[in-house]
Amino acid sequence: MAQITLSKLAHSYLPSPTTSDDFALKEIDHIWADGEAYALLGPSGCGKTTLLNIISGLLEPSRGSILFNGNDVTHAATAERNIAQVFQFPVVYDTMSVRDNLAFPLKNRGADVGYIARRVDQIAKMIGMEETLDRKARGLTADAKQKISLGRGMVREDVNAILFDEPLTVIDPHMKWALRTQLKSLHREFGHTMIYVTHDQTEALTFADKVVVMFDGRVVQIGTPQELFETPEHTFVGYFIGSPGMNVIPAQVDGAAAYVHGEKINLGRVYHGLNGKIEIGIRPEFASLSNKGGLPVSIKRVEDVGRHRIVRAETMDNELNIVVPEGMPVDADMTNVTFDPKHVNVYADDWRVRGEAA
Amino acid sequence: MTLELKDVSKVVAGQTHIYPTNLTLEKGTMNVLLGPTSSGKTSLMRLMAGLDKPATGHVFWNGADVTGVRVQDREVAMVYQQFINYPSMSVYDNIASPMRIGGNRAAEIDKAVRKAADLMKLTPMLDRKPLELSGGQQQRCALARALVKNAGLVLLDEPLANLDYKLREELRIEIPKIFEEAGSIFVYATTEPEEALLLGGNTATLWEGRVTQFGPTPIIYRRPVDATTARVFSDPPMNFLNISKVGQEITFGDGQICPATGPLSALDDGTYMAGFRPNHVELEKNTADAIQFHGAIAVTEITGSETFVHLDHHDDRWVGVVHGVRDLKIGSRIPIYLDPTHIYVFGDAGDLVAAASYAEAA
C-alpha cells in the first residue's frame, strides 16, 4: 500500500499546448494518504479518466510527476507499478473455475500454495461466492462475473493501490448495494489505498473517505461527503452533488445579510468587500416552506419521490427547489420560503467565500 | 387511443419469458415498466411494438386486433438504451428521417424538426454529425426522432441508463413534460424505483416475466399488492422479518414481544412477514409506541445529507436511511425504532394482508 503524490501534474493530448484550455487535466498538486479510499467524481470529459490513466501508467503526463511512497513512477510501465485494476466490464477467464480466476494474480507471482488457498477462501467469502468456487466462470451472470473481477482486484495484499473504473455500471440497483457494502468492508479490513472513478454521486459518496470532484479538467474540491454537502467550495460542486443540486441565487451581500431584489436573508457568517458575481447557495434540504417570513414563493410542481417530495418553485424570478420530508404537508397557504442561515453559503465568481464568524 | 394486451405471453425455446399478461394503456399517459434486469421489460415492449409475435393472446390498437401486424405498419416509435442514430447523416437529417420515409412535405418536415430540436435543446447542433455530440446530446437526437414520428405508441427502453447522473436528472424532468404535450401513449422501462416515482403516471412492476401490479405510480409504491412488488419498488431494498400474532401480542422473529398496535391490532392470529422501508428506520424513539430492535452495525455509508446504516438483526441484513451524518461504530449494537404505522404485513404466500397505515392516509 502506498501514499500517492501527484506533483504539479498536468496533461494535454495536444503536442504543444499553450493555453490552459489545451489541457485535459489542469495542474494538480496533492498527496493522497496511504490506506484511504478516494473517489474521482465528475461528468464525462472532466478529466477523471485521464487522471486515472496517469496513475495506472497507461498515460504519461505532459507535465509533473507521480510518486508512490516517494518513488517517482512517472515513466514506469503499468506492470512495474504493482497495482490492481477493476474495470467497468468483467474481465474473467471463462474456461477457468471461479477459484482459479481468483487465484490467478497470486499464482502469477509464485505465492505459496497454502497461502493461495487460504486467501482465495477469504476473498470468496467476502464476495459471497464460496458455493460457486469450483464452477467454471462460463455461464455465470454479469453480476457474478463482475464480483469475480472485484475479488481478483482485492486478492493481493501487497499492491500499492487498487484502481476501480466505474466498476458497478453493469450491475442492477439492488445488487449495487450489496457489492458496494462488500467493497467498503473489504477496504476497512485490508486498508488498501483505493481510487474509484465514477460519475454516480451516490456511489462516490458512499464508497469514499474523500471525494475528489472534477470539472473541466480541474479538481474543484477534495472533501468528505459532509464537506461537499454542507460547504461546496464551488457552485459546480453544489450543483453536481445532491439531487436536486444546490439552489444558486444572485444576491447582494453586506455584512451578515444578503439581499435578493431588496428582500433580506440572514446569513450565518459576516462578509465584507466582496467583488465579482455574487450569489448565495442553499441546498433544497435547508429551505423550508412557511406561511410567513422569508422570500415570497410560488409553487410550480410537487414531485413525490416516496421518502420526500421535491417542490419546484419560483422566488423573485429564480427557480428554487425545496425538499419536504414525508408526512409534512404542502399547503396552498405556504406562500413563503425561509432558509437556515447556518447553511446559506456565499459565492463570488462561483467560488465560496468563507467570511468571518458572526 | 388505447393499447390493450389480452393474455399476451412469450415463450422462447420452451422457456416462458412473459406469462399471460393483461394491460390496458390509455392515450396521453406515461406508463413505467419497473423491474430488475431480465424481469421481462424489453420482451414486453417488443410484444407491444409488434417486433415479436406473442405465443398466446392478442394485441389491440384502438380496439382493432393488430396481433400479426408488422412493426412497420404500426404507429410505433422506439428509443433504446444505446444511442441509435445514422452516423453519416447530420442531426437535422437524423431527426427528419422518419418524416421523409413517411413522404411529408419539406416545409412540414422543417417545422417539425426545428420544434423537436428546440425541445431537446439541439438547435445549435443541427448541422453536426451524431458522433460529434456528447452522449446526452446523441440520446436527445434519438428522442427527437421518436418525437417527430408523431407515433401513437412511443416505447423508451431505459433511455437514460447510459447517461451521466446529472443529465439523467435533467432529462427525467423534461421527458414527461415533452411527451405530455404530444398526447401519445408512452411506455418507459427502468430498473430504478426513484426514476419511476419521478416520472409519475402509471407503473407496472415486473418480476420474472410477470406484471405483479399495474396502477398509478404513487399507489403502487404505497400499496404494493405483495412482497415481490414491494421489493421491486424499493431502493434500497425493503427490510423483512417474520412475525407471529397471538391475542394482542406480536412476537418478532427472535422472540421479542410487543403489544399489537396500529395495523397489527386487527390481524388474525397467525404467522406473517413484516416489511418496512429503509427510510422508516429511526435511531431515536420518535413516537410513544415505536417498536425497539437491536442490530449490529455492519457498514455505514454517508452521502453528506443522509447516512445509510446497514445492520444485522439476527439472520436478517437490514438497511436504514437516516437524516444527517451519523458517526456509528462498526460492530457496535444499537437500538433502532420502528413506528408500527410504517409496517406492511404480508401473508405466507407474500400477498399483502395489511398496508402500512401511514400509506392508507396518504
Is the Cβ pair A181, B310 closer than 8 Å? yes
Interface test with B, best of A40, A44, A236 (most B CBs within 10 A): A44
**Across the interface, do A44 and B134 touch by the CB < 8 Å criterion?**
yes
**Lowest mean per-residue pLDDT among A137-141, A186-190, A222-226:** A186-190
Mean confidence (pLDDT) of chain A: 92
- Give residue A323's pLDDT: 95
> A45 contacts in B (CB within 8 Å)?
134
B317 Cβ contact list (under 8 Å, min separation 6):
B298, B310, B311
d(CA B224, CA B228): 8
Q: Which chain B residue lies closest to A283 (C-alpha atoms)? A: B305
Closest CA to B304 of A28, A303, A41: A41
State the Cα–Cα distance between residues B332 and B131, nearest whole angstrom: 53
CB-CB neighbors (< 8 A) of B358 in chain A: 327
Residue A142: the pLDDT is 82
H helix or E strand, kind and range, residue A289 = strand A287-290
pLDDT grade for B362, boundaries at 50, 70 and 90: low
The predicted model gives B36-58 an average pLDDT of 94
pLDDT confidence of residue A289 = 95
Measure A81 CA to nearest chain B CA, in Å: 30
Q: Which conformational region is residue B76 in: left (phi greater than 0), alpha (psi within -120 to 50 degrees), or beta?
A: beta
Q: Are A267 and A253 in contact (CB under 8 A)?
A: yes
Question: Which is more confidently placed, B270 or B168?
Answer: B270
Q: Give chain A's radius of gyration (CA, Å).
A: 24
Structure confidence at residue A23 as a pLDDT band (50, 70, 90): very high
Least confident of A108-122, A170-184, B125-139: A170-184
Contacts of B166 in chain A (CB under 8 A): 43, 239-240, 245
Contacts (Cβ under 8 Å, ≥6 apart) of A42: A48, A199, A213, A214, A215, A240
Q: How far is A263 from chain B (nearest CA, A)?
A: 28
- Predicted pLDDT of residue A201: 85
Confidence category of residue B361, pLDDT binned at 50, 70, 90: low
Chain A: residues touching B (Cβ < 8 Å): 43-45, 172-174, 177, 180-181, 184-185, 188, 199-202, 205-207, 224-230, 239-245, 283, 285, 303-307, 326-327
Q: Before B224, cis peptide (omega within 30)? A: no
> For residue range B174-210, what is the model confidence (pLDDT) as tens digits?
787 777 777 889 999 999 999 999 888 999 999 999 9
Interchain contact, B299 vs A184, CB within 8 Å? yes
Q: Between A173, A225, A326, which is nearest B303 by CB?
A: A225
Q: How far B350 CA sits from the closest chain A CA (Å)?
A: 19
CA-nearest of A239, A204, A244 to A225 is: A204
Residues of B in contact with A304 (CB under 8 A): 197, 200, 218
Task: Name the percent of chain B lying above pLDDT 90.
Answer: 58
B102-130 per-position pLDDT tens digit: 888 999 999 999 998 988 889 999 999 99
Cis preceding-peptide flag for B98 (omega within 30 of 0): no
Contact A188 B330 (CB under 8 A): yes
Lowest mean pLDDT among A143-147, A255-259, B226-230: A143-147
- For a pLDDT cut of 70, what percent of chain A falls above it? 100
Residue A306 confidence (pLDDT) above 90: no
Closest-CA residue of B relative to A229 is B304
- Rounded to whole angstroms, how far apart are CA atoms A231 and A283? 10
The minimum CA-CA distance between A227 and chain B, rounded to whole Å, is 7
Query: Is there a contact between A112 and A157 (Cβ–Cβ < 8 Å)?
Result: no
Taking CA–CA distances from A45, the nearest residue in chain B reads: B134
- B200 contacts in A (CB within 8 Å)? 303-304
Binning pLDDT at 50, 70 and 90, where does residue B231 land? very high
* B299 vs A181, A243, A283: nearest CB: A181
Q: Where are the beta strands (DSSP E) in B277-341?
A: 281-282, 291-302, 306-313, 316-323, 333-338
Residue of B nearest to A236 (CA): B166
Q: Do B193 and A304 touch (CB under 8 A)?
A: no
Q: Which of B279, B299, B303 sits opposite A307 (nearest CB)?
A: B279
- Residues A140-154 have a mean pLDDT of 89
Chain A residues whose CB is inside 8 A of the B83 CB are none
Q: In this complex, do A230 and B166 lie within 8 Å of one another by their Cβ atoms?
A: no
pLDDT tens digits, B314-348: 888 999 999 888 878 888 999 999 998 899 999 98
Grid coordinates standing for B171? 432529462
What are the tens digits of pLDDT across the range B49-93? 999 999 999 999 999 999 989 888 888 999 888 878 899 999 999
SS (H, E, C) A103-120: HHHHHHCCCCHHHHHHHH
Please report the pLDDT score of residue B326 as a whole number.
83
The confidence score (pLDDT) of residue B243 equals 92
Say if residue B13's pLDDT is above 80. Answer: yes
Q: What is the pLDDT of residue A74?
A: 96
Looking at per-residue confidence, does A100 or B28 come out higher? A100
CA angle B296, B344, B262 (to 5 degrees): 100
- Per-residue confidence (pLDDT) for residue A293, from 0 to 100: 85
Closest CA to B213 of B286, A138, A236, B221: B221
What pLDDT is stored for residue B305 in this prediction?
82
- Provide residues of B within 8 Å CB-CB of chain A: 36-37, 134-135, 164-167, 169, 191-194, 197-198, 200, 218, 221, 235-237, 277, 279, 298-299, 301-305, 308, 310, 319, 321, 325, 330, 358
Phi and psi at residue B160, to the nearest 5°: -105, 0
Helical pair B106-119 and B135-148, crossing angle rounded to 10 deg: 140
CB contact under 8 A, A225 and B192: no
What residues in A contact B221, CB-CB < 8 Å? 306
B273: confidence class by pLDDT, cuts 50, 70, 90: very high
Shortest alpha-carbon distance between residue B102 and chain A (Å): 36
Q: DSSP character for A299?
A: E
Reported confidence tier of residue A355, pLDDT bands at 50, 70, 90: very high
How large is the greatest C-alpha to C-alpha distance in chain B, in angstroms?
76
Band the pLDDT of B226: cuts 50, 70, 90.
very high
Residue-wise pLDDT for A36-68, tens only, equals 999 999 987 889 989 999 999 999 999 999 999
Rounded to whole angstroms, the Cα distance separating A337 from A351 reads: 25
This model of the complex carries an ipTM of 0.82
Contacts of A239 in chain B (CB under 8 A): 166
pLDDT of residue A169: 78
Residue of B nearest to A244 (CA): B169
Taking residues B143-155, what's their average pLDDT? 89
| Residue A285 to residue A232: CA distance in whole angstroms | 14
Measured in angstroms, the CA of A205 and the nearest CA of chain B are apart by 5
